[in-house]
Amino acid sequence: MARWEPGARERIVVAAVDLFTEQGYDATTVAQIAERAGITKSTFFRHFPDKRELLAAGQETLSRLLGEGIAEAPFDASPLEAVAAGLARASSEMGPTNRDLGPRISAAVAASTELQERAVLKNVGMAAAMTDALLARGVPDPLAHLAAEMGVLAFKRGFAEWSEGDPNATGDLAPHTLAALNDLRDASAALG
């Protein structure tokens, strides 16, 4: 087994998602994931503390990109325009592997209470990163939280549409997340 072969982290995630799809999350062991990825168990643990964290791979990066995009939005941007900048920044980092794994990860999460709990924590982390970035821009607290929650929902809806759409279609994630944010903005106006 190659210990320091490039791309080990991505291979681990792909191997895990494949095994979760084939035999279920609970039935999949770290040893099986490591074997499928062509690495040792110790290499697995250098990348992830446990198998549950596999599906949160990239969460810190995603939250950071969302926050950076908000921080870099034009000074006069509204809170939702700043969130749109964060969504565009984070979406620009999503590629074909993310698109391919999206539906399989969703299926694994839907089949496991443990992974559902982890997904909720991921959403909380994304919302916190966006809220903090909005607060740093001087957006009042309740408005910052609301805009951040809309951003999380827009990201989830846009990502689902993008990853579950036509696999032969080309295109980036950003238009999907931005369209979802616009839909949510329109829907919020109907709340009264």
3-state secondary structure the chain: CCCCCCCHHHHHHHHHHHHHHHHCCCCCCHHHHHHHHCCCHHHHHHHCCCHHHHHHCCHHHHHHHHHHHHHCCCCCCCHHHHHHHHHHHHHCCCCHHHHHHHHHHHHHHHCCHHHHHHHHHHHHHHHHHHHHHHHHCCCCHHHHHHHHHHHHHHHHHHHHHHHHCCCCCCCCCHHHHHHHHHHHHHHHHCCC
Residue 192 has pLDDT above 90, yes or no: no
pLDDT higher than threshold 60 for residue 122: yes
Q: Dump pLDDT digits (tens) for 41-62.
A: 999 999 999 888 887 777 888 9
pLDDT at 137 over 90: yes
Instruction: State yes or no: pLDDT of 5 exceeds 70.
Output: no
pLDDT at residue 102 is higher than 50: yes
Query: pLDDT band at residue 73, thresholds of 50, 70 and 90?
Result: very high
Q: Which of 4-8, 30-34, 58-62, 142-146 has the lowest mean pLDDT?
A: 4-8
| 12 confidence band (pLDDT: 50, 70, 90) | very high
State pTM to two decimals: 0.83
pLDDT of residue 127: 96
Better pLDDT: 53 or 87: 87
Average pLDDT of the chain, as a whole number: 89
Asked whether residue 169 carries a pLDDT value surpassing 90, the answer given is no
Grade residue 6 by pLDDT with cuts at 50, 70 and 90.
low
Which pLDDT score, from 0 to 100, does residue 4 have?
46
Domains detected in the chain: 8-53 (1.10.10.60), 58-189 (1.10.357.10)
